[in-house]
Amino acid sequence: MKIYKINYLLILGVLLFSYNATSAQQEQDIEDRITKIITKMTLEQKIGQLSLRGTSSRTKVLPEELKQDVRDGKVGAFLNVMKVDYVDELQKIAIEESPLGVPLIFSRDIIHGFKTIFPIPIGIAASWDKETAKTSARISAIEGSSYGIRWTFAPMLDIARDSRWGRIAESPGEDPYLASVLAKGYVEGFQTDNLTNPTSMAACAKHFIGYGAAIGGRDYNTAIIHEPLLRNVYLKPFEAALSSGVQTIMTSFNEVNGVPASGNKWLLTDVLRDEMNFDGFVVSDWNSVTEMINHGYAKDEKQAADLAVNAGLDMEMTSKSYEFYVKELIKEGKVKEDQIDFLVRNILRVKFKLGLFEKPYRSKTHTGDLYSEEHLTKAKTAAIKSTVLLKNESVLPLKMSAKIALIGPLANAPREQLGTWTFDGEKEHSVTPLKTFKDKRVSFKFSKGLSYSRDKSTGGFEAAIEAAKVSDVIVFIAGEEAILSGEAHSRANINLPGKQEELIKILAKTGKPIILVIMAGRPITITNIIDDVDAVLMAWHPGTMAGPAIYDILFGKKEPLGRLPVTWPKTAGQLPLFYNHKNTGRPSDAESFVQIDDIPVGAWQSSLGNTTHYLDAGFTPHFPFGYGLGYTTFKLEHLRLSKTEITESEELEVFVSLTNTGESAGEEVVQLYLQDKVGSLTRPVRQLRRFKRVRLNSGETRIVKFIINRKDLEFVNNSLKPVIEKGEFNVYVGQNSVSGLVKGFVLK
Ligand code: NOJ
């Protein structure tokens, strides 16, 4: 037995060694080939590789000038070339007519689906499921690569703590651990384990960094993030993407602590290259190099190019400061040619890894299986996994025989249900709730009530009320149009726009139960109407298959499986709001809190509880991070730790018993949070460290086990060192970020 074991280990060792040797050899071959190319390149051709040019999807004729630039080797990559013939033509010119035949790389924002649209990323985040992120990325890549696109500008990994920010729709939510899990799923899905596979795409982790920390949630706004916070929170998902081999990184539009990301040498060179060992390439965001002039960081385009090159930014998106000024900067000695060689090398390396030198052309037999049955089914499953049940006064699931009034501006809005960043998904393929109800022969009356989410006309109210009166239950599909979230689409108020609240209140007077389904790009404040409705389902913008997913959930064919990836506010005035906040010196508490209406007139200033809260909005969110109901109930009991004291090198095992106490089978997301009670830098009240989806039959019990290790206890301190500090910790295991069982341990 022992001998077998030794032999086995030996063989494994030899295999591993030869595998490492081959991949090291392959990497060296690539570097050698790059060196050969760079040696032959003129300075203009090198600068050409650093240029990402855009065409518009609507381009009717490829401009001659553009073709000539490719011929002259002045372009390294394209974005948004959406006619496959143009992709083919441009690549042919690059390969056959440009001086060194360096292939182009074609890119596009394929964020949550190409043709088959998956839920928006905040929806995917609500699935709390790496596989869902991976599947959405995989199918996006399969479909998109059939158009010759081998590089996508996803995943967006910006931690978002403010739901006013329009781009929260594209974000992985507020938590660095959850975002890191998703980051890995996305990168694996886009890139696979074989980048040369013609259905693989280079992923792009964006936006580096702090874009989601825009003050006030106003897009592009200044971010102020002290370095330990940057490292403990904002950088985490990027580290995860890098560990999964992400090939490209996009800088963010914003400045962090006074320095715009695209000209930030500390960020792009010291942190990204030197500390994190990134060996792919960094692309700017759209014009973000020359926008450093608006930031007041560069006086003109030439200085912008100087700053960006010296920061280590490899490829410039759309603006042309490199093309216009790098030559001059070299002449003036501000930039060295070998710096440019380094940037070119980073870009060529990714082109080699994608196999573009061997196979530059789009495979004509690769159809992408656009909208195939398989893709649509997966998009539907993802939508079910993303939908979060926020309230249910025993109205859901519905009986098949229920007579339904289907009302609301999003009930039949094929474009809107797709959400932001869906340049290629066609609304003609969207299956809306209305269409599904018809296809499934649900007994229902449809009356939209309002034509679109911002509609302020009451013209449709009468008919909606009539439909409600003759029905057993109202399904009101509310929300925001796709255009109300996404880039530059921040809102100061995040309630249901238009007259949706008013219509819901009027419908409530009919006495019929209301199921509110929300399709939106962000959490929507619903405090005004929560008491008027009997159930609330948050579907985000669910994508092509919104209708079938919502139908299955409403009628109990499937359970809503989502959990909130962001804290849900009662009012926009509470924002930014996030669960992993600090305790403060005067933590809020229910006992001393006096609500604004209960303050006696003429009350003495210090007669109210002096804790951190709002007099009017209190101190709790409407729904906490991690929250979500299902169609059954669960109970957690008997939290047990393997030890009460550990050393740094020891692992801690955590056990908890989970029982399905309801009538039907169902799934729970068991969440483990840690609290480091005392730190040299104050620590968050809780931090998510593990979670597990567990499926149990009614009455079934299972012991769920987690393992915590030293990495989970680590944080970057004020001296910017990763440290683990001895002392007391709490382990919370619960169904969301504020409830649960707790047990303490000591790190010796
Ligand atoms: C600007 C956006 O910020 C970025 O996310 C996107 O990838 C680029 N434009 C390209 O469209």
Binning pLDDT at 50, 70 and 90, where does residue 60 land?
A: confident
Give the span between the Cα atoms of 101 and 73, in whole angstroms.
8
Angle between helices 64-71 and 84-92 (to 10 degrees): 40
Which parts of 396-545 fold into alpha helices (H)? 433-439, 461-469, 500-508
User: What percentage of the chain has pLDDT greater than the value 70?
Assistant: 97
pLDDT tens-digit profile of 448-499? 999 999 999 999 999 999 999 999 999 999 999 999 999 999 999 999 999 9
pLDDT at residue 725, as a whole number: 98
Nearest CA to ligand 1 atom 4: 285
- State whether the beta carbon of 593 lies less than 6 angstroms from ligand 1: no
Q: Is 418 strand, coil or helix?
A: helix
Best mutation site among 56, 170, 317 for ligand 1, i.e. most ligand atoms within 8 A of its Cβ? 317
Give the span between the Cα atoms of 248 and 186, in whole angstroms.
13
pLDDT at residue 607, as a whole number: 83
Sign of CA dihedral 232, 234, 237, 242: negative
pLDDT tens-digit profile of 557-586? 999 999 999 999 999 999 999 999 999 999
Nearest CA to ligand 1 atom 11: 109
Atom of ligand 1 nearest to the CA of 207: 5
Angle, vertex CA 673, rays to CA 669 and CA 677, nearest 5: 165
Give the span between the Cα atoms of 334 and 324, in whole angstroms.
15
**DSSP 8-class letter at 468:** H
Mean pLDDT, rounded, for 346-363: 97
Q: How far is the CA of 360 from the centre of ligand 1 (A)?
A: 25
412 vs 438, 439, 476, 519, 732, CA distance in Å?
A: 11, 14, 11, 11, 42
pLDDT at residue 4, as a whole number: 55
65-78 exposure pattern, b = at least 16 Cβ within 10 A, e = fewer? ebbebbbbbbbbbb
Binning pLDDT at 50, 70 and 90, where does residue 55 land?
A: confident
pLDDT tens-digit profile of 80-96? 998 899 999 999 999 99
Atom of ligand 1 nearest to the CA of 80: 11
pLDDT tens-digit profile of 698-716? 999 999 999 999 999 999 9
- State whether the beta carbon of 109 lies less than 6 angstroms from ligand 1: yes
Q: Which structural domains are found in the chain, ordered by start? A: 373-554 (3.40.50.1700), 634-747 (2.60.40.10)
Nearest CA to ligand 1 atom 9: 286
Nearest CA to ligand 1 atom 1: 286
Nearest CA to ligand 1 atom 3: 285
Tell me the helix, strand and coil percentages in the chain, rounded to 5.
Answer: 35, 20, 45
Binning pLDDT at 50, 70 and 90, where does residue 333 land?
A: very high
- State whether the beta carbon of 151 lies less than 6 angstroms from ligand 1: no
Q: Is pLDDT above 70 for 542? A: yes
Q: Is pLDDT above 80 for 13? A: no
Q: Is pLDDT above 60 for 3? A: no
- State whether the beta carbon of 285 lies less than 6 angstroms from ligand 1: yes
Catalytic residue among 69, 158, 285, 424: 285
Fill in the amino acid letter for 62: L
Q: What is the mean pLDDT of the chain?
A: 96
Binning pLDDT at 50, 70 and 90, where does residue 56 land?
A: confident
In this prediction the pTM is 0.96
Give the span between the Cα atoms of 21 and 29, in whole angstroms.
12
DSSP 194-212: -TTSTT--B-EEEEETTGG
pLDDT tens-digit profile of 617-650? 999 999 999 999 999 999 999 999 999 999 999 9
pLDDT tens-digit profile of 296-327? 999 999 999 999 999 999 999 999 999 999 99
User: Is-catalytic flag, 285?
Assistant: yes
pLDDT tens-digit profile of 212-223? 999 999 999 999
pLDDT at residue 1, as a whole number: 45
User: What percentage of the chain has pLDDT greater than the value 90?
Assistant: 94
- State whether the beta carbon of 286 lies less than 6 angstroms from ligand 1: yes
pLDDT at residue 15, as a whole number: 62
